[in-house]
């Protein structure tokens, strides 16, 4: 029986390939398209969009209220006067405008 003094090349290639694949998959799991950092970005964006959605819903409720107050069934004369003066650029005689 003779032993070879050279290192086992197959074992070295196996461990090098395993280390390379482990490094690649670890990198992909952290910074890839579906990684942890991308997930954190998506969660932050979803939170920002949720806040924006609440703002838009508030604006919609306000506009529905104004629309209902100017409808044929219910007419708010003060609101109508305010809107007409705003559109026409006029003021009442008892108002003072400071620019």
Q: What predicted TM-score, i.e. pTM, was given to this entire model?
A: 0.56
Start-to-end CA span in the chain (Å): 105
- What digits encode the pLDDT tens for the residues 50-99? 999 999 999 999 999 988 888 878 878 888 888 888 888 777 777 777 77
Task: Say what the pLDDT of residue 91 is.
Answer: 75
Concatenated DSSP letters for 9-75?
HHHHHHHHHHHHHHHHHHHHHHHSTTSHHHHHHHHHHHHHHHHHHHHHHHHHHHHHHHHHHBSSSSB
Task: Please compute the mean of the pLDDT values over residues 17-30 and round it to a whole number.
Answer: 95
Q: Is the pLDDT of residue 2 over 80?
A: no
Tokens representing residue 52 in the block: 């924006």
Task: Say what the pLDDT of residue 82 is.
Answer: 82
- Please, which residues have CB within 8 angstroms of residue 15's CB and are 6 or more apart in sequence? none
Q: Is the pLDDT of residue 1 over 70?
A: no
Task: Say what the pLDDT of residue 80 is.
Answer: 81
Task: Say what the pLDDT of residue 81 is.
Answer: 82
């Amino acid at each position: 029986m003779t032993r070879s003094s050279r290192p086992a090349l197959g074992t070295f290639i196996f461990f090098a390939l395993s280390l390379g694949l482990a490094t690649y998959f670890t990198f992909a799991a952290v910074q890839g398209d579906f990684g942890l950092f991308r997930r954190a970005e998506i969660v932050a964006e979803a939170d920002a969009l949720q806040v924006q959605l609440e703002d838009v819903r508030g604006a919609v409720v306000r506009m529905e209220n104004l629309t209902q107050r100017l409808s044929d069934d219910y007419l708010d004369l003060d609101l109508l006067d305010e809107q007409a003066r705003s559109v026409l650029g006029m003021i009442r005689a008892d108002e003072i405008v400071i620019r």
